[in-house]
Structure 1
Amino acid sequence: MIHHAIPLAATGLKIDWVRMPTYNTIMSVAAGAGLLLVVVLGRQLLTSGRTITPEGWVLAFGAIGFTLVATGLHMTLTWPLAGQGFPFDNIIFGEPAFAFGVFLLAACFYLWKRGAELNSADRIVRTARVARPISVFVFGLGLACFGIAAAGWKYTLFAAPPEEPISGEFAKWPVLEASFISGLYVLVGIGALLFPFALRRPRSWVSPVIGVVWGLAGLVFLLFGGLNYFTHIGLIINTM
């Protein structure tokens, strides 16, 4: 199998990986885990009588937030990070990951200082009031997610080359992966646009909708990011 892979790489796509670093693998896993944990914490807050351990959420949000800020900030400020024809990745992956990481680090700091308030009698009202100012930024990023999704569909972005294992099997139909990734951004965008309204009426129908769309998107990002550890390693080997 090794001898068979060498001529394929020699005659197929060539990528100078020194000029095109990529780490949307860890970014996808972290973003997926972060979305899932936000949904879980929101559900715990809305469940009467549920005791919350703030120290655990400080550790989780801090670890994930640092990962997203470090990778997202570098991808956002290094223009273009992908020096072989993919500068749009800086916008599509770097900026949303950086912003989400900042949100999680801010939540980490708040819970570290004021985590005991999560178990107070008025925790829902108190948490909603604290989160309202930042909800403007969340709403704006929801609009950005729709913009990214629209660009993905219009320009058929996200399609894997034939040299990439598994995903490359669908290279002949680039609209499939474009629709898949764009659909994930739509789910995240829906939740972000609804977030400010959920803070006004936390127990309304809006909160469960956010939980569904963010939970589904988070699960897919987590699993897809894990899968990409295999597919991206294969792509690197096949294009060196």
Structure 2
Amino acid sequence: MLSATAALAAEGLKTDWSLSPTYNTIMAVAAGAGLITLVWFIRDLWVKQERNIEGYAFAFGILGFILTTTGLHMTLTWPIKGLPWDNIIFGETSLGFGVLLAATSWYLWRNREALRTAERPIKVLADLVRPISLFVFGLGLALVGIGVAGLWYQFFVAPAEEPISGLFADYPIVEAIFMSGLFFLVALGALLFPWAVKREAVVGRPGTVHRVAGWAWVVGGLGFFLFGALNFFTHIGLIFNTNVPS
């Protein structure tokens, strides 16, 4: 099957990467850090009984700001012209996650003293997020759709001019499996979120659903975190290789 990226190249549709912002680099790092930090926060409240509310509010605020601003800009302006589907894949998902993190930061900071003195702050937070858990579930469904589309159209393949990732340009299924796998992992945690919240509210202790969702977000988040960091090199290399005369 010819990948979507390869099909565009075959038709002679080239992208000037110096004029096509691809800041899904910082978005991937922030999204990965956000997922991992969210699991840390829940673990600290639930298992360690730590109450560093300000620290997590600070972290969620920074990550939420990055994801909201970049996601909103990408969603509204579609800056990636050569690979337009990337604006949906990275822009809209980052916007949704960024707003959730920013709202979490605001609530934690505003209610830090009440949470610090609450007998079970995890119960307070579970009751709070139950109404929004439907949106989180919806984002999970969206991530499943992205993962399926990635395998179906194989559009995650990097151009041959991109260092490291470009080595798989002739094998689009390799990067399709890797990237779609990350989306599926994060989707799993999001799809389990409503049941995880309900179990905490009713039972009051962690169970299998929490462990599965937590590990899905940690592993998926770490994958996005490292891949985004790697892309700071590969995307610079792509721009250099396609815009600097040899």
TM-score by length of 2: 0.88
Please report how far the alpha carbon of residue 93 of structure 1 lies from its aligned counterpart in structure 2 after TM superposition.
Answer: 0.4
Q: 2:67–2:95: 8 Å Cα contact kept in structure 1?
A: yes
> What amino acid is aligned across from residue 53 of structure 1 in structure 2?
N
Deviating beyond 3 angstroms after TM superposition, the runs of 4 or more aligned structure 1 residues are none
Residue among 202, 227, 235 paired with 1:232: 235
Partner of 1:89: 86
Residue among 181, 184, 187 paired with 1:183: 181
> What amino acid is aligned across from residue 96 of structure 1 in structure 2?
T
Q: Which runs of 5+ in 2 are unaligned?
A: 1-12, 201-205
Partner of 1:168: 166
- Structure 1 residues 170-208: Cα deviation after superposition (integer angstroms, max 9, x where no partner): 111100001101000000110000000001113221111
Partner of 2:10: none
Please report how far the alpha carbon of residue 14 of structure 1 lies from its aligned counterpart in structure 2 after TM superposition.
Answer: 5.7
Distance 2:98 2:112 in 1: 19
Q: Count matched residues.
A: 226
Please report how far the alpha carbon of residue 118 of structure 1 lies from its aligned counterpart in structure 2 after TM superposition.
Answer: 3.4
Residue among 92, 102, 105 paired with 2:102: 105
> What amino acid is aligned across from residue 67 of structure 1 in structure 2?
I
Partner of 2:39: 39
> What amino acid is aligned across from residue 51 of structure 1 in structure 2?
E
Residue among 134, 137, 140 paired with 1:139: 137
Please report how far the alpha carbon of residue 162 of structure 1 lies from its aligned counterpart in structure 2 after TM superposition.
Answer: 1.1
Q: 1:36–1:215: 8 Å Cα contact kept in structure 2?
A: yes
RMSD over aligned Cα, in angstroms?
1.6
**1:123-138 to 2 correspondences below 5 Å:** 123-138=121-136
Q: 2:162–2:235: 8 Å Cα contact kept in structure 1?
A: yes
**28-37 or 13-22: bigger deviation:** 13-22
Distance 1:31 1:221 in 2: 7
Q: Is 2:27 the partner of 1:23?
A: no
Partner of 2:210: 207
Distance 2:58 2:121 in 1: 21
Secondary structure (helix, strand or coil) at the match of 1:52 reads coil
Please report how far the alpha carbon of residue 58 of structure 1 lies from its aligned counterpart in structure 2 after TM superposition.
Answer: 1.4
Q: Which runs of 5+ in 1 are unaligned?
A: 1-12
> What amino acid is aligned across from residue 56 of structure 1 in structure 2?
G
Partner of 2:8: none
Distance 1:130 1:15 in 2: 45
Q: 1:32–1:220: 8 Å Cα contact kept in structure 2?
A: yes
Q: Is 2:59 the partner of 1:56?
A: no
Please report how far the alpha carbon of residue 115 of structure 1 lies from its aligned counterpart in structure 2 after TM superposition.
Answer: 2.0
Secondary structure (helix, strand or coil) at the match of 1:201 reads helix
Distance 1:64 1:137 in 2: 19
> What amino acid is aligned across from residue 80 of structure 2 in structure 1?
A
Please report how far the alpha carbon of residue 15 of structure 1 lies from its aligned counterpart in structure 2 after TM superposition.
Answer: 3.3
- Structure 1 residues 114-149: Cα deviation after superposition (integer angstroms, max 9, x where no partner): 123433212222111001011110000000000000
Distance 1:117 1:215 in 2: 28
Distance 2:241 2:71 in 1: 26
